[in-house]
Structure 1
Amino acid sequence: MNLKSLSAKLLFFAGGTVATIVVAAVAFSAIETKSRVEASVNDEARAEARNVAASVSAEIGLAVAAGRSMIAMIGAGHEAGNRDGAAVIAELKAVATSNDGVFGAWMAEAPKGFDGTAAKDRPGANGAGVFTPYWTKSPDGKLEFSTFDAKYDAPWYALAATSGKAAITEPYMASEVKVLMSSTAFPVRSGGRLIGVGGVDFSLDGLTKMLNGLTPFEGGRAYLVSGGGNWLVAGDGGQLTKPYDETGTDALKAALASGEPAVISAIEDGAYERIVYPFTLPGLDTRWAVLLDVPSAAFTTPVYAEVSKFLIVGGILLLAVLGAMMLATRQVITRPLARLSAAVERLAGGNYDSPVAGTDRKDELGAFAGALEGFRHQLKSGVAAELAADNERSKAERLREEGESERRRTGETQARVVASLGEGLARLAAGDLVTPLEGEFDGPYRKLKADYDAALDRLRSTMQSVSQSVASIETGTQEIGAATQDMTHRLEGQAASIEQSVAALGEITGQVGENADFAAAAAGTVRSAREDAERADLIVRQVIEAMRNIAGSSEKIEAIISVINEISFQTNLLALNAGVEAARAGEAGKGFAVVAREVRELSQRSSAAAEEIKTLIADSASNVEKGVSYVDNAAEALRRIAAKVLDIDGKVERIALGSKSQATGIGEVNVAVGQMDQMTQQNAAMIEETNAATQELTIQADALKRLVGYFTIAIRTSGTSAPVTRRAA
């Protein structure tokens, strides 16, 4: 191809215009894609960090819930009057046994706060007489019991005791079991009074395994730091419990203080971007932070892919335009001119036999070919005469002038066509899809204009359809985003309510179970009282019988009072029997024992005071009758008490059975609510993923909207043919 030819210049101009458009589009796409990818990756990284924080909170929440339930039961039992240290020790042991993640359960009473004493021999008391029971697990999983010194100024006691809230210690490495542990402490209250502090020691080994197993973004890392800025999960095991001293220390401290996420750049010479996500531990006024390292490739790879795609599409478009232009110029300009040039060269070489091609064309080139064909005939026929020659020369000169004029007109027309086509392509490069080619195109150029205008109309129609589709997509994604956001808020509120319900049901279950135990104990006490009342009634009947026997003996003594010696003998015998019966009667027979002693003395002086004995015996008989009456009344009262005790026994047993049934039912409800809590959290996670996908679709639709907005399209209103131009929405 001749680089100085008209077709080559036209191709270079059109190719440069299209290449400029492609380069500008690729640059704009690269900038927009970089911003979008950074925002998307940061949002996804924060969502991943939020999920990790939720898992950590759930793991710690189990230990916190176990400790809180344990302390609630101890406080409720104490408030109900239970001062049995052995029961508290048993409760601590049950918590340590039933929770795999709990490595210890303990309590330290306030000074004389549990039972008001400092006895060293009571269960769970240390050498100073302070109630400090402590159950721990040995490396092989066996439970061991011990006591410890109550340090009231230590953080594990002072923080919970002074604030009245749950507290957590800074994690530490336990030398006995070689795992990372932490302790939660809770104030133990009874009747509004602090009686001590209790808590549990739990392992963080499960959190370490969980975070070490995460590889977000195909090569990322997840770490954990405490509220004090110390490593809890780190890449190097030797950093555990040591302060965070890497890049971004100030940013980490600020995030822990404010509770807002932060980003630390240039980790390991730019290999990672570190997302700092602080979160509050459930039930504790303490913040920890999840550190999520995102590989730099997660930010750059999508940008490179997007730019490569635009370069490929732009290259294909450039080649297509150049090919179409090359084909058009070759068919319309290059080939006809080449045939005319070959005809002229033949005539110049003296070849007058070959006809000139293209005389059948109706355009300027056809006129030029016709003139050249006439000139060939003239040259072939020769000069017949000088006049004819002059005429022919004149005619040839005229034809030459006309041909020259025609060539000039043809050149001007071609220049006008090329200029108009160049302006149209420039407008097309600027995004104008409304303005057609200006001016009238004659001859073969008319089809070129028609083809250009048809392509412009088709491209404008396509852009209008794309613009309408983008608007529909944008509206739909906004509605979906709003709906998913609203659903997320409702699910979060529902999850919080269910979690509170689970905690409340747990406490109610413990209290109902304890009430059932108390009711069973009360039933045993009532049965014992009923048995004691029945035995007392038997003793009273025996006392009545004895008193009646005494009254009969007194009558016999009075009948034979004249025989003093026999009276003395009989009186001694009766007095001895009366003493035995009085001893059997116990407290109720003490008064009668005194009378028996007096009778024995009277029997010894019977010979000297017979009349006095007779009088005393009469008085004794009267008193015995009164005693019988009193004992009858007491027996009747005891029988009424026994009947009421029996009635109370039946009611207490029914209360105990009802409490056990309530405890079983509430336990089943607690399990069901816990399952509802898990399902709600899973639904919330799925809604968050849907929301993230909707936001990504909105961003893509907005990017497509901006790209389409580059073009100017036409809207034809009804009743008029005039185009109304606007930018594509």
Structure 2
Amino acid sequence: METKVRKFRLGLQTRMLVLIGGTVLAAFAVTVAVVASTSARSIKALSIDRTRETAVANSREVKDKLDRAAGVARDLAGVLSGLKASKLPVERNAVDQLIRQLLEANPDLLGAWNVWEPNALDGRDADYAGKPGSDAQGRYVAYWNRVGGLHLEGCVDYDKPSPASDYYQKPLKSGQEAVIDPFTYSIGGKDVMVVSFCAPIRNADNEVVGVAGVDLPMESFQRLISHARVGGFGYGFLVAADGTLVAFPQADAVGKKAADRLKDSPILESQKTGQEFVGEVSSLVDGRPAYAIGIPFNIGRTPWYVVITVPLEQMLEEAVHLRNLCIVIGAIATALVVFVVALLARQIARPILRIISGLETAAEQMTSSANEVAAAGSNIAEGSSESASALEETASAVEEITSMVNRNSEDLGKAHSVVVTTVEKVSNANSSMIELKTSMEQISTASKETQEIVKTIDEIAFQTNLLALNAAVEAARAGAAGAGFAVVADEVRSLAQRTAEAAKHTTNLIEGSVGRINTAAVQTSTTNTEFAQVSEASRELSMYISQVAAASTEQKSGISEVSRAIEALNQVVQRNAAVAEESSAAAHTMSSQAEQLQHYVHDLSVLVGVAVNAPKSSAIAESPAPDAPPVTPA
């Protein structure tokens, strides 16, 4: 009984969805990972380049700003040195107007100033004692600034110890330009942190007779650095040569030492050594991971340091956005691929299912046909076997008949010879009978003469004739065997002995003999006629035997043809048996192929994922077809 096994596996559509969808999803995942990694590196490198460009641009901007301020200070000192070297009278009001106009022409400057040695400008310090732009002794120390509006006041602390007097004392003593690091001064009644650019004023003898300079407010650097961002993120800060924070995102840190804020940051070491810094740091604002680039630049001979810092999160924001975009696109593309694969798998599965149905029907038909062919082959083989058995029996019978016909033919030949011999003997006997008849007639004549001559031996002659007749009769009866002649001869001799005694009876015997001879002549004539009839019958019998012999020969030839026909029929039966065996083998092969086809259908059904039955085993008997027994031809 066939056992149905239902298997539930993933169908072709589901497999295609899983395999192709999974492959596409994995490919998109790898692509997203590669794109994300590559874009992260690229965007990071780009951000680093942009950060560095921003840092370089800001350093250049700061440097330009400082260089311009230094240039203004240098120009102011040069003009004043030229006035002094010309040895022309110098009016302080003219100098005031010059400085005022200079300050108005440079709105970035907080103030412009000049400090002269006592009586170094015009030798009239006493005339200006206590006046605006002069100290109590009249020394010219004018300072034009914007604190509380553009106004004039006097410089202070120029004669105090360092560092309050560095803006004046350093250039005065060194005869060189100087940039004074950020320092807090009291300007207009307010403490203001400024960076001073100072240049010595020389007379005609190249002696330093004073110092001119300009001041830049720290807040201008703060505004400048606050705009130093990359993509709107991050912050920048500016460190002066002495390590003071000139600009910082947190205003309370401005003017303080950078070491207090940077602490163990590697930026500090690069700033101290004047080397460029590139690397990851912790943000000085919120402690988050950030990327910083530090660019050193010189203001005159004074090294300054500008740093631009960008949070890594913002630096990689574009990469994250690109990654998320790739994920969304990949998800949408995967969904589209899965949808298309589902449609494609459905379109593929339908014809495959139809093919499976057709193949299954064909396999069943092949199995049925194979069973029918096998049954037919078996029936043919059985019929061939029975036919072969019948032919074998027929061949045996024909062989016996052939043997009998041969024997009959031989017997008929012998009978024909016997008949021929008999006819000859009958002919000879007939001739003998004719001769006997003639002899009988002669004997009758002789007997009459003897009767007349020897009457005395009549009885003896009669007995002798009688014995002769008996001898003739015995001879006729005995045929070729003449055994009785000896007895007759003995009797004749006995009778001869008695002849003398029976002489008296001779006449009677002769008379009797004559009568019997006559009778014998009649009988001989009758026998002769009958022998003639026997001879004719023998000839007819010989003819009939010849005809029978010819018929036997024809029967022998016909039987030979029948034997050859049986042999040919036996060969046909053998061929039919062979064909039956081949048909049976072909049926088994067809059944095996049908079973294999069912396995293929089963595998294909499993591939498609439909519920299938286990393939049937072949229903054809595995026993070979019966062999037809060989038939021995006659």
TM-score for the superposition, normalised by structure 1: 0.44
Q: 3-state DSSP class of the match of 1:287?
A: strand
For the 8 Å contact 1:272–1:293, the answer to whether it is kept is no
Q: Which amino acid aligns with 2:102?
A: V
In 2, Cα distance between equivalents of 1:91 and 1:269 = 48
Q: Does 1:105 align with 2:112?
A: yes
Q: Which amino acid aligns with 2:216?
A: F
Call closer, same or farther: CA 1:328–1:84 in 2, change over 3 Å.
closer
Q: Which amino acid aligns with 2:364?
A: L
For the 8 Å contact 1:3–1:9, the answer to whether it is kept is no
Call closer, same or farther: CA 1:147–1:407 in 2, change over 3 Å.
closer
Q: Does 1:195 align with 2:209?
A: yes
Following superposition, the deviation at residue 258 of structure 1 comes to: 1.7
Aligned partner of 1:597 in structure 2 is: none
In 2, Cα distance between equivalents of 1:289 and 1:276 = 10
For the aligned residue pairs, the C-alpha RMSD in angstroms reads: 4.6
For the 8 Å contact 2:267–2:294, the answer to whether it is kept is no
Call closer, same or farther: CA 1:6–1:216 in 2, change over 3 Å.
closer
> What per-residue deviation string (whole Å, max 9, x for no partner) do you get for residues 64-121 of structure 1?
3332221111111222223536354554454345544444433334577657x79745
Aligned partner of 1:95 in structure 2 is: 102
Residue of 282, 290, 297 corresponding to 2:306: 290
> What per-residue deviation string (whole Å, max 9, x for no partner) do you get for residues 294-315 of structure 1?
2333233222233334444555
Residue of 82, 88, 99 corresponding to 1:76: 82
Aligned length: 388
TM-score for the superposition, normalised by structure 2: 0.50
Call closer, same or farther: CA 1:128–1:159 in 2, change over 3 Å.
same
In 2, Cα distance between equivalents of 1:202 and 1:329 = 77
Shifted more, 198-207 versus 93-102: the winner is: 93-102
Aligned partner of 1:252 in structure 2 is: 268
- Which consecutive unaligned segments of at least 5 residues does structure 2 have? 1-6, 383-579, 607-634
For the 8 Å contact 2:274–2:303, the answer to whether it is kept is no
For the 8 Å contact 2:81–2:203, the answer to whether it is kept is yes
Residue of 279, 282, 287 corresponding to 1:266: 282
- Which consecutive unaligned segments of at least 5 residues does structure 1 have? 342-357, 359-364, 416-729
For the 8 Å contact 2:181–2:242, the answer to whether it is kept is yes
Q: 3-state DSSP class of the match of 1:50?
A: helix
Aligned partner of 1:240 in structure 2 is: 254
Q: 3-state DSSP class of the match of 2:246?
A: strand
Q: 3-state DSSP class of the match of 1:290?
A: strand
Aligned partner of 2:221 in structure 1 is: 207
* 1:337-376 matches, cutoff 5 A: 340=356, 358=358, 365=359, 370-373=362-365, 375=367
> What per-residue deviation string (whole Å, max 9, x for no partner) do you get for residues 232-267 of structure 1?
233333222111223454523423532524445121
For the 8 Å contact 1:186–1:197, the answer to whether it is kept is yes
In 2, Cα distance between equivalents of 1:240 and 1:231 = 5
For the 8 Å contact 2:279–2:291, the answer to whether it is kept is yes
Following superposition, the deviation at residue 8 of structure 1 comes to: 5.9
Residue of 23, 26, 31 corresponding to 1:25: 31
Q: Which amino acid aligns with 2:176?
A: K
* 1:585-664 matches, cutoff 5 A: none
In 1, Cα distance between equivalents of 2:96 and 2:372 = 134
Q: Which amino acid aligns with 1:34?
A: A
In 2, Cα distance between equivalents of 1:221 and 1:171 = 21
> What per-residue deviation string (whole Å, max 9, x for no partner) do you get for residues 32-57 of structure 1?
22221211111112222333334434
Q: Which amino acid aligns with 1:230?
A: T
> What per-residue deviation string (whole Å, max 9, x for no partner) do you get for residues 481-540 of structure 1?
xxxxxxxxxxxxxxxxxxxxxxxxxxxxxxxxxxxxxxxxxxxxxxxxxxxxxxxxxxxx
Q: Does 1:401 align with 2:417?
A: no
Call closer, same or farther: CA 1:394–1:326 in 2, change over 3 Å.
farther
Aligned partner of 1:514 in structure 2 is: none
Call closer, same or farther: CA 1:249–1:305 in 2, change over 3 Å.
closer
Q: Which amino acid aligns with 1:171?
A: P
Q: Which amino acid aligns with 1:76?
A: G
> What per-residue deviation string (whole Å, max 9, x for no partner) do you get for residues 170-197 of structure 1?
2233442454322211012334433332
Aligned partner of 1:66 in structure 2 is: 72
Aligned partner of 2:323 in structure 1 is: 307
Task: Give the number of the structure with larger relative contact order, counting CA–CA contacts within 8 Å between residues 6 or more apart.
Answer: 2
Call closer, same or farther: CA 1:147–1:83 in 2, change over 3 Å.
farther
Residue of 168, 171, 174 corresponding to 1:160: 171
For the 8 Å contact 1:229–1:243, the answer to whether it is kept is yes
Q: 3-state DSSP class of the match of 2:200?
A: strand
In 2, Cα distance between equivalents of 1:224 and 1:7 = 66
Q: Higher Cα Rg: structure 1 or 2?
A: 2
Call closer, same or farther: CA 1:296–1:119 in 2, change over 3 Å.
closer
Aligned partner of 1:180 in structure 2 is: 193
Aligned partner of 1:676 in structure 2 is: none
Q: 3-state DSSP class of the match of 1:183?
A: strand
Aligned partner of 2:505 in structure 1 is: none
Aligned partner of 1:587 in structure 2 is: none
Q: Which amino acid aligns with 2:71?
A: A
For the 8 Å contact 1:120–1:126, the answer to whether it is kept is no
For the 8 Å contact 1:75–1:188, the answer to whether it is kept is yes
Residue of 204, 209, 222 corresponding to 2:236: 222
> What per-residue deviation string (whole Å, max 9, x for no partner) do you get for residues 194-242 of structure 1?
3332212332333334444666433433333322222223333322211
Q: Does 1:38 align with 2:44?
A: yes
Q: 3-state DSSP class of the match of 1:227?
A: coil
Following superposition, the deviation at residue 5 of structure 1 comes to: 5.9
Aligned partner of 2:54 in structure 1 is: 48
In 2, Cα distance between equivalents of 1:8 and 1:93 = 88
For the 8 Å contact 2:378–2:584, the answer to whether it is kept is no
For the 8 Å contact 1:106–1:132, the answer to whether it is kept is no
Q: Which amino acid aligns with 2:149?
A: G
Call closer, same or farther: CA 1:78–1:39 in 2, change over 3 Å.
same
Q: Which amino acid aligns with 1:144?
A: L
Q: Which amino acid aligns with 2:294?
A: Y
Q: 3-state DSSP class of the match of 1:242?
A: coil
In 2, Cα distance between equivalents of 1:329 and 1:397 = 37
In 2, Cα distance between equivalents of 1:94 and 1:28 = 62
For the 8 Å contact 2:277–2:295, the answer to whether it is kept is yes
Identity of aligned residues (%): 19
Q: 3-state DSSP class of the match of 2:9?
A: coil
Q: Which amino acid aligns with 1:387?
A: N
Following superposition, the deviation at residue 167 of structure 1 comes to: 1.3
For the 8 Å contact 1:220–1:294, the answer to whether it is kept is yes
Shifted more, 62-71 versus 207-216: the winner is: 207-216
In 2, Cα distance between equivalents of 1:108 and 1:208 = 28
